[in-house]
Structure 1
Amino acid sequence: MKNKYVDFISDEHLLNCIANLHKAYLKAKNNITKKNFYSNKVDTIKLTFDAQFNNINQESLIQAEILRQIDKSINNSIGTFHEQILGGIQGFQVGNLSGYDIKSNDGTLFAILNFESLSQNIEEGIFEKLCNDAQFNKIASYYYVDFSSKNDSLEKWVIGNEESSESHKRVFKTSGNKFYQLLTGNEDALSSLQSKLPIVIRDYLKLPV
């Protein structure tokens, strides 16, 4: 039977991923309320200055900060959502305790997913890990998947400059879009998922058409 939503994962798996993300949204909203807002490390003195000097109602500032904290929590859950989606593609799985977010069932691909801007030192640390593991596992390719990058590409990862650079023939840096394409064989896989999300969410929530 043909899938209703996308062709690279089952409808059931996609709905399960949506359900998990919805639970994360509900948990985030329940965990950060006005009641426990002040129990967190909130600079109430700064909050007072912000309200007075910017001529903003303090209640509005509190609500905005609560939403910001919820949003920060949800960003991590969006990363988990992509892991679960990609792990549902035939031939691949979530990395679990492997040190990687996604890996192939046959051990020939390992990937670390990133969803925020990282410092150069952290990226270099990831690069070294991938290169070291590539030296040990001679049949696998390793990917650093940067969903935050505006550069839509898949290329050998090279760090350094023209005078001194490092790379490994089986270590790559890629965008989220290209990684979806790599795993599915469909260059429109990620955009297809994005376009179908309103329909999937409506079906999950059982909303009327």
Structure 2
Amino acid sequence: MSVFDRNKVKEVLKPIVDSTYKAQQEEKDIYKNTLDCFSAAIDASIRGITLEEWIESEKQRQAQKTLQNKIGDFHQKMLGTLEGVTDLGVGEVVDIIYEDKKIVAEIKNKHNTTKGNHKKSIYDDLVSVLERHEGYTGYYVEILPKNGRSYDKAFSPSDNTTKTSREKSEHIRVIDGKSFYKLITGDNNALKELYSLIPELTAEILKESFDINRNANNIKDNQFFSELFEMIFP
């Protein structure tokens, strides 16, 4: 039985795919934000490409940045499609709440998204929410873990101003993405299932939005598709 509702996943994915495709097709004025000619000369020389080729690669890099900005709340919204999980949206202290398992969580896409001195603020936010939700556990979720490690441990970030660490508590934890999806769904393969849906749904969205044909099997049937996931989540 599938963990995810395919239509709900597609609904979350659609604005990300649409905006990224549009960004790739637009003729961007990459000079608008003052292009660094020194960086261009150094990078082109190192890579052995012309400056014209460098400009084209820079356009693609900026389009990729658009995708990265959009993907920031991808997992928050995706977790919110699961039964019983509420996506609290923008502006709340935490990102999601799951009353059935008494869980609140702040979701970050990558382990280094949050700088060390900001992690104490996440800790403090979790503490403030737990004061209003007795018996709950607060999680700081790092979807993409460092060096492919899995972890679910007490979260005790350092405070640079006091040179101390926040007090350890079994009810305030840091966890990797795969482990958190398993915690929420009870399925160890939940995150991989979501990953496997992406190529096919992306192809459908491109066809429906732009009449662009993409063969999802070119991605899914590539051996590296599975290997890439396993490298990040061993």
TM-score by length of 1: 0.80
After superposition, residues 21-170 of structure 1 pair within 5 angstroms as 21-29=16-24, 33-34=27-28, 36-51=29-44, 55-96=48-89, 97-104=91-98, 108-116=102-110, 117=112, 118-149=114-145, 150-159=148-157, 166-170=167-171
3-state SS in 2 of match to 1:128: helix
Q: Which runs of 5+ in 2 are unaligned?
A: 159-163, 208-212, 218-234
- CA deviation vs aligned residue, 1:25-63 (integer Å, no higher than 9, x gap): 1343356x34x1101232134424544576530111112
> What is the percentage of aligned positions where both structures have the same residue?
24
In structure 1, the residue matched to 2:224 is none
- Residue 140 of structure 1: CA displacement? 2.4
What SS does the aligned partner of 2:135 have?
A: coil
What's the counterpart of residue 179 of structure 2? 178
Q: Quick one: structure 1 residues 110 and 27, their matched pair in 2 at CA, closer, same or farther if it must change by over 3 Å? A: farther
Deviation at 1:180, TM superposition (A): 0.9
Residue number in structure 1 paired with 2:15: 20
The structure-2 alpha-carbon separation of the partners of 1:156 and 1:189, relative to structure 1 and needing over 3 Å to count, comes to same
Shift of 1:155: 2.2
Distance across 1 between alignment mates of 2:39 and 2:201: 42
Query: Are the counterparts in 1 of residues 119 and 157 from structure 2 also a CA contact under 8 Å?
Result: no
Find the aligned partners of 2:118 and 2:37 in 1 and give their Cα distance: 32
* Corresponding residue number in structure 2 for 1:198: 199
Number of equivalenced pairs:
200
| Separation in 1, partners of 2:181, 2:87 | 14
Provide the C-alpha distance between the structure 1 equivalents of 2:185 and 2:122, rounded to a whole number of angstroms: 25
Q: 1:28 to 1:108 in 2, by over 3 A?
A: farther
1:81-104 per-position Cα deviation (integer Å, ceiling 9, x unaligned):
222211000001212132222222
Structure 1 residue 179 displacement after superposition: 1.1
CA distance, structure 1, for counterparts of residue 43 and residue 198 of structure 2: 38
Aligned residue identity for 2:71? I
| Distance change in 2, residues 1:80/1:132 (3 Å) | closer
- Given that 2:17 and 2:205 are in contact with CA atoms closer than 8 Å, whether structure 1 keeps it comes out as no
Instruction: Tell me the alpha carbon deviations over residues 71-123 of structure 1, each in whole angstroms, 9 at most, x when there is no partner.
Output: 22211222322222110000012121322222225793221111231322122
**Does the 8 Å CA contact 1:28/1:73 hold for their aligned counterparts?**
yes
- Matches of 1:53 and 1:172 in 2, distance apart? 43
**1:164 and 1:143 mapped to 2: Cα distance?**
17
What SS does the aligned partner of 1:73 have?
Answer: helix
Which one-letter code corresponds to 2:150 in the other structure? Answer: D
User: C-alpha distance in 2, partners of 1:142/1:39?
Assistant: 43
Q: Give the alignment's TM-score, normalised by structure 2.
A: 0.73
